[in-house]
Amino acid sequence: MKQLRITFLLAILVAGLLAANLYNEFYKANAKPPENIVVAGKFVDLSSMTLRQKIAQMMIVYGNPDDKALYQQMNIGGVFLTAMDTPEAFNQTTNLFQRDTKIPFFIAADVEGCINPFENFIKFPALHEIETDEDAFTIGKAEGQLMKELGMNMNFAPVVDTKDTIWNCRSFSGTSDEISGKAESYVRGLQSQNVIATPKHYPGKTLSVRDPHRLLTYAVIDSSDTKPFAKSAEAGAGAVMISHVIGSGAVDTEGKPAVTSKKAVTTLKKNFGGLVITDDINMLGLIRYYGWSDNRYIDLFAAGNDVVLDVASSPDKINHIIDVVEKAVWDGKIPASQIDNSVRKILKAKGFTPI
């Protein structure tokens, strides 16, 4: 009798797990592009998007091809790609992501020179090896050209921190003025190929401040740190990436990671009309401040960032983030108009006219 009871319970467990597995596969296989979003040529009716779809459009996530259908259904804004063996592999992936989309994905990567996802088939010099503004333009243009050929439209580069004492290769070398000149030229070169440049990591000093106790990262920011960002903005950079540094001095982040400081983001936006993109939100600089609380997500969106980068979370986790932010909007913690403004900027960056 006891054995029979165990058999019965195990059978229910197996049936439940089988149903869950089948539902998972069915859902992935039948995810469809959102039909409610109205796109007519270059015009997008913003009011046809739900709040959840708008929040999703503000996210760039890890570009797993298996998740494409789900992310398309959610209206995710972009995907981040990592190294592949061949140019053909990249093209296959980018074509898959952009197939049958109403609103194309941002397709982004870190192409920084010494960090190079194409390194298996093409080398680029490290930014710190670039000596002149002309070379910076030429290399920016070459990287942009390749990215365009591979179907990518956003580069999380150039690194314009004035010092890089951690990797020793990621940033341009020289004085703040020299770095600013190279940054400006690189941005012009890259964007001449219709690839969005994302100078990083605002407000600076992200690659030179080490915390021996592995806690939060504090830095005193001065004008030499922010000048490369100002010059990049003058060059028309389409985006800038904001870091988790807790800043004081020229950029006051209110004792919080810059990425969640409304003051820091607002200050940045006063002189920069492009997209403000967060550094990846799973880094310890942010997690150590917030722990695993959902407040992290609320503050990221409330601060006024236009795009939130999350390359570690699964689709389920991304869905949860959208749940949290949606509720925060309904609760009045994040103005709906702020979400709308960011989505307008995103759509314009993608070549649309939001109406």
Partner 1 sequence: MGKLAILNVALLVAALALFLNLAGPADMTANVVYALDKSEPKCIFEYRGLQSAIDDINQCCFELQQQRTCSQETAVNSDYVCSNSDYGAKYRVNAKTISYCKIQGYRLNVK
DSSP string for residues in 313-350 = --HHHHHHHHHHHHHHHHTTSS-HHHHHHHHHHHHHHT
CB atoms within 10 A of CB 85: 9
Residue closer to partner 1, measured from CB, 245 or 264: 245
Nearer to partner 1, 38 or 83 (CB): 83
Nearer to partner 1, 128 or 141 (CB): 128
| Minimal distance, residue 231 CB to partner 1, in Å | 26
Nearer to partner 1, 115 or 349 (CB): 115
Q: Please state the closest distance from residue 241 (CB atom) to partner 1, in A.
A: 13
Give the shortest CB-254-to-partner 1 separation in angstroms.
22
DSSP string, 25-72: HHHHHT----SS--EETTEE-GGGS-HHHHHHHTEEEE--GGGHHHHH
Contact residues: partner 1, CB under 8 A: 3-4, 6-7, 10-11, 13-14, 17-18, 20-21, 24, 62, 64, 82-85, 110, 114-120, 123, 126, 166-169, 210-212, 214, 280, 282-285, 287, 311-314, 317
Burial of 36 (0-12, 13-18, 19+ CB in 10 A): exposed
Q: Name the residue nearer to partner 1 (CB basis): 9 or 336.
A: 9
User: What minimum distance in Å lies between the beta carbon of 244 and partner 1?
Assistant: 9
- Least Å distance, CB 293 to partner 1, is 16
- Least Cβ distance, residue 84 to partner 1 (angstroms): 7
d(CA 172, CA 184): 11
In the chain, at which residue ranges do the beta strands (DSSP E only) sit?
Answer: 39-40, 43-44, 59-62, 78-80, 106-109, 154-155, 196-197, 218-221, 239-242, 246-249, 275-278, 308-310, 353-354
Question: How far is CA 115 from each of CA 46, 64, 83, 85, 110, rounded to the nearest angstrom?
Answer: 37, 20, 10, 15, 7
Using the minimum distance from each CB to partner 1, give the nearer residue, 17 or 220: 17
Structure tokens at 27: 């859902």
Q: CB nearer to partner 1: give 4 or 40.
A: 4
CB of 103 to partner 1, least distance (A): 25
Q: What are phi and psi of 45, to 5 degrees?
A: -85, 105
Write the CB contacts of 135 (distance below 8 Å, at least 6 apart in sequence).
Answer: none
